[in-house]
Homo-oligomer: A and B are copies of this chain.
Amino acid sequence: MKLSTKGRYGLKAMYDLAIHFGDGPIALKNIAERQRISDHYLEQLVATLRKAGLVKSVRGAQGGYMLANEPKDITVGDIIRTLEGPLGPSECVLEDDPTMCHNADCCVTRIVWEKIRISISDVIDSITLQDMVDDYYKIKNKGNYMYYI
């Protein structure tokens, strides 16, 4: 019941971009260093995020990535779903395209999975990158050492 590194690294990278929102293109190498992620691996995740329209890229020297929208308009759910696919603790309750169990209408365990799915969705859809940026400044102003992580 864990997220893979796709979702976890992906959110870290998007959060990093949110912290630097408005600063022009940010090179992947720098994000990978700050977040301590293999840059070639992160490249694959960011490619997925770019194809989904969550980030924009600038090629060539001095190039890099930027959020495609304001941090307040990107939710954790957008990012995790893009990288991990439709969410749900079981096939039969996946968002979008549940592999329909032929007993779905009378399956009691399915009711449990559905409740779990909804509770996860509620959380990740309610948190935006801006919320995370706000958290960052809150912690920073308390005097904690921070480095965009």
Contacts and interface: CB of A to CB of B under 8 A. Distances in A.
A132 B113 CA distance: 12
A106 interface: yes
B149 A87 contact: no
User: How many chain copies does the complex carry?
Assistant: 2
Main secondary structure of the interface of A (DSSP, over half): helix
A2 interface: yes
B109 A120 contact: no
A108 interface: yes
Interface in A106-126: 106-109, 111-113, 115-116, 119-120, 122-124
Interface of A: 1-3, 7-8, 11-12, 15, 76, 80, 84, 87-91, 103, 105-109, 111-113, 115-116, 119-120, 122-124, 127, 132, 135-136, 139, 144-147, 149
